[in-house]
């Protein structure tokens, strides 16, 4: 009984992550249109595309790759990679 | 950010490495290599803004969106499959991995149509720097998807064993970690090649 409960709860964690990732894909697509159409918000939309993408990357690691249960060094290593590469790409594209 | 899973698992201070440590060394290496790829694409957007914008406009964004959804859904199937192997192993668990494989095959088919369309219309890696990077980096990623399909096929077979011990679970978790790596690399490539 407990195992079944735990099973369904874990699956719901994956369901929520999948839903957020799909919604974020839609947001990224919308920001991509804004970024490509030019105008005042172009730079903001460009940064948004990159940031939304790396939030998705982080969620895949945290939930699907189970880094939420991983040792601190592994979690922090992945977090650091995500933040550093995201920041680097934003700086290059807006610089 | 709150944890998506509300499991009441006891977390030790040390935590637990999902799968084998070796797969994480591979993941780390791949993340470094692809980080260089991402930076090269971003620099191209800045240095050759006009060429990159024109070339990117000729890509079908819906192909990229569909491929993203296929990999996200494939990752979801694998994540649920791994969890079920851990908590409630049964002969039916392998169907989650089968569905993930189908998502991967859908990605390969979609990518093949996209590449075929581009090449038949005279666009190839020699066209300009954007398409050189596009074909090389999506090609390397496509190789990852093909390897990932084989890996998920292996963990599908492992999940069918009557008893799943620690060793079998490590194999399943390691394979799943590789599959999710393929997913996250595509998420960044999609943003940099199709959306910027």
One digit per residue, pLDDT tens: chain B, 196 residues? 444 544 444 344 478 899 899 999 999 999 999 999 999 999 999 999 999 999 999 999 999 999 999 999 999 999 999 999 988 877 789 999 999 999 999 999 999 999 999 999 999 999 999 999 999 999 999 999 999 999 999 999 999 988 888 889 999 999 999 999 999 999 999 999 999 8
What is the pLDDT at residue B43?
Answer: 97
SS3 B25: helix
What is the pLDDT at residue A71?
Answer: 94
Task: Report chain A's terminal Cα–Cα distance, integer Å.
Answer: 56
**Segments forming the whole domain that contains residue A45:** 2-94
Residue numbers in A near B69 (CB within 8 A) = 22, 25
Residue numbers in A near B5 (CB within 8 A) = 9-10, 12-14, 63, 68
Sign of CA dihedral B135, B138, B140, B144: negative
Residues in chain B: 196
Determine the residue of chain B that is closest to A87 in CA distance: B39
pLDDT per residue as tens digits for the range A17-71: 999 999 999 999 999 988 888 777 888 999 999 999 999 999 999 999 999 999 9
Domains in chain B, ordered, with CATH? 21-195 (1.20.120.80)
pLDDT per residue as tens digits for the range B151-166: 999 999 999 988 888 8
Determine the residue of chain B that is closest to A35 in CA distance: B196
**Whole-number Å distance between alpha carbons of A38 and A20:** 27
Number of domains in chain A: 1
What HEC string does chain A produce? CHHHHHHHHHHHHHHHHHHHHHHHHHHHHHHHHHHHHCCCCHHHHHHHHHHHHHHHHHHHHHHHCCHHHCCHHHHHHHHHHHHHHHHHHHHHHHC
Of B8, B72, B188, the CB nearest to A53: B188
SS3 B139: helix
SS3 B19: coil
For B169, other C-beta atoms within 10 Å of its C-beta total 18
Residue numbers in A near B4 (CB within 8 A) = 13-14, 16-17, 62-63, 68
Q: pTM of the full predicted structure?
A: 0.90
Residue numbers in B near A50 (CB within 8 A) = 191-192, 196
**Whole-number Å distance between alpha carbons of B1 and A52:** 15
Mutate to test the interface with B, among A15, A61, A66 (most CBs of B within 10 A): A66
State the complex-level ipTM. 0.89
What is the pLDDT at residue B8?
Answer: 40
């Amino acid at each position: 009984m407990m195992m079944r409960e735990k099973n369904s709860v874990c699956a719901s964690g994956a369901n929520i992550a999948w839903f957020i990732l799909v919604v974020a894909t839609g947001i990224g697509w919308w920001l991509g249109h804004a970024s490509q159409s030019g105008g005042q918000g172009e730079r903001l939309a460009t940064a948004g595309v990159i940031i939304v993408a790396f939030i998705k990357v982080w969620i895949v690691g945290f939930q699907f790759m189970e880094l939420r249960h991983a040792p601190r060094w592994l979690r922090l290593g992945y977090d650091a990679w995500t933040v550093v590469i995201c920041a680097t790409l934003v700086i290059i594209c807006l610089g | 950010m709150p944890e998506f899973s509300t499991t009441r698992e006891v977390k030790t201070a040390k935590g637990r490495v999902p799968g084998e440590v070796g797969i994480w060394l591979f993941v780390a290496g791949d993340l470094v290599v692809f980080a260089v790829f991402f930076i090269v694409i971003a620099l191209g957007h800045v240095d050759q803004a006009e060429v990159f914008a024109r070339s990117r406009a000729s890509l079908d964004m819906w192909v990229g969106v569909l491929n993203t959804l296929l990999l996200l859904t494939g990752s979801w199937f694998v994540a649920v499959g791994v969890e079920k192997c851990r908590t409630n192993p049964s002969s039916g668990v392998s169907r989650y991995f089968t569905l993930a494989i189908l998502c991967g095959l859908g990605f390969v088919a979609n990518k093949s149509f996209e590449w075929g369309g581009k090449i038949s219309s005279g666009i190839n890696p020699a066209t300009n720097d954007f398409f050189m990077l596009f074909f090389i980096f999506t090609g390397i990623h496509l190789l990852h998807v093909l390897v990932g399909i084989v890996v998920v096929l292996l963990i599908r077979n492992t999940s069918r064993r009557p008893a799943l011990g620690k060793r079998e679970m490590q194999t399943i978790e390691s394979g799943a970690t590789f599959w999710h790596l393929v997913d996250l690399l595509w998420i960044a490539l999609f943003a940099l090649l199709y959306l910027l």
